[in-house]
Amino acid sequence: MNKKVNKYLKYLAYLPVVYAFIFVFLILDGWQDWGGDFAGYLGQAIAFVNGDLETYRTNNTYTMNESERVIGPIFYPWGYSVPIALLYKTFGFNILYFKFFSLLSFTIFLLLLTKIFSKYLSQISCLSITMLFAFNPFMLDYNNLLRSDLPFLFSSVLAMYIIMNKRNESTQKSHSLILGFSIAISFFIRSNGLFLFIPLIVRDLEIIKKEKTNKKKLFGSLNTAYIVSIVTIIFWRFIFPAGGSSHFQFLKQGSLNRANQLLGDYLEVLPSFIGTVPYSKIWTLIAALFAIFGICLRFKEDKYIILYVLANLGIILIWPSYQGLRFLLPVIPFLLFYTFVGIEQTITLSPLSKNWKKYLLYLPVIYLLGTFLYQGIHYLTNKSSMVKTHGPFEESSQELFEYVKTHTAEDATIVFFKPRVFTLLTGRRSFYHTDPDHILEADYLCFYLQSHVDGANYFQISPEKMQKLYEKQKILLIYKSKDFLLFETKTQK
């Protein structure tokens, strides 16, 4: 009977993957938030296709140097931009095709999730972890944004899957080849992909220590992953400009006080992974207690995983700008893994009957998943009545960009709260600043009236200071819509 149940559970694990793919496919649209990172990735992808990387470098360097603070690297790591460049070359500037790449990454990640912990957890626990991602409203909706997070989640989890489950099968060099490429790809997408070398090295040292015979052959087989990843990285750096090197400027802005503040911020945002589920903070606290118990149980065997998690958590604390839940995504699968390790062991040790033990494991998970499903169905049934506004591809924004392209010189400079987006969609150099004197050094000032959206009130001049400039005739209003005011500054000839 148990074998039959396990067989059904094995195939049942793929249903959440299919559900997630269909759900996201149905909600994909041409909307995008103001963001900023997406404009960097798209901008360098388009420049690469057009053979115009130097112009992109010049414009983006201007943005970083003139803005009130550094808001990103000159070039991002290329791992996300290259697939976007291929899509742009094939289909043109099509947001839906760009988003579909993230959907494919998320789908393959879910397939990996059905397998990665199968040697360590029961099938029902593995299925539960998969469903906590596949039915999760936050994760499903996140596919509808142009971000590098989901491709990185896929490539990094692929690398960890091989390290955890295949690395000891040293006779199969194909595993080492795939591992080497997946580490290189992770690094190309995000610089912290290099952290994957930490579990790889620790795991290999453990394997070598356990091997009693033929260590030379084993060492040669293990070396394949390092050689492939390093050679691929070097080859890649010859083709593309250095991506992510400006990130070191960010790290210099970090401090111990800021790290303490960020720790509080990330602890506060973690419950949002389960969205609007009632008592989400209590659920998260309970899960954290089980996770700590699980880590204690497997600390000796899983040092390499724990070090990888700690490295990722450490970098987000010294990274001075808060990035929300998306920076925690690479470690959440492993936190859930240890949560279920703790749950299973607690149930095993409990004096309750076998049936009651099953209920203890299943009922809380069923409650969370049922809530996720209800929220997802509610979202789909009400999608037609939901109007997304306040983004760069919304009608009002497109009208502004078209006006700028037809009424300003190609070498004009314009102050805007999201300068990389402005440059991407108008071709004009842009920067952000809140100081009136610095703003007057540009040719134009574009003020976003929806100041509550995407931190606009933080990244642009205050309405009071803008009004003073207008009253002193330092700026002249030349364009007005429901969302934007465009001023010509006194420096414009």
Q: Supply the pLDDT for residue 349.
A: 84
Alpha helices, DSSP H, located in 30-75 = 37-49, 53-66
Neighbouring C-alpha atoms within 13 Å toward the C-beta of 254: 20
Report DSSP letters for 125-138, one per residue.
Answer: HHHHHHHHHHT-HH
Report the alpha-carbon angle 16-21-26, nearest 5: 125
460 lies in a domain?
no
- Residues in the chain where the model's pLDDT stays below 50: 1, 171, 493
Q: Supply the pLDDT for residue 221.
A: 66
Q: Supply the pLDDT for residue 204.
A: 87
Q: Supply the pLDDT for residue 154.
A: 98
Neighbouring C-alpha atoms within 13 Å toward the C-beta of 40: 24
275 lies in a domain?
yes
409 lies in a domain?
no
Which residue range forms the structural domain that includes residue 110? 2-30+73-384
Q: Which one, of 233, 115, 221, 116, lies nearest residue 176 by Cα?
A: 221
Residues 376-387: tens digit of each pLDDT = 887 777 765 566
Q: Which one, of 448, 452, 388, lies nearest residue 418 by Cα?
A: 448
Q: Supply the pLDDT for residue 428.
A: 97
Q: Number of folded domains in the chain? A: 1
309 lies in a domain?
yes
Q: Supply the pLDDT for residue 493.
A: 47
Q: Supply the pLDDT for residue 348.
A: 84
Q: Supply the pLDDT for residue 164.
A: 92
Q: What does residue 197 show for φ and ψ, rounded to 5 degrees? A: -70, -25
Q: What does residue 261 show for φ and ψ, rounded to 5 degrees? A: -65, -45
Q: Supply the pLDDT for residue 3.
A: 57
Residues 203-220: tens digit of each pLDDT = 888 888 876 656 666 666
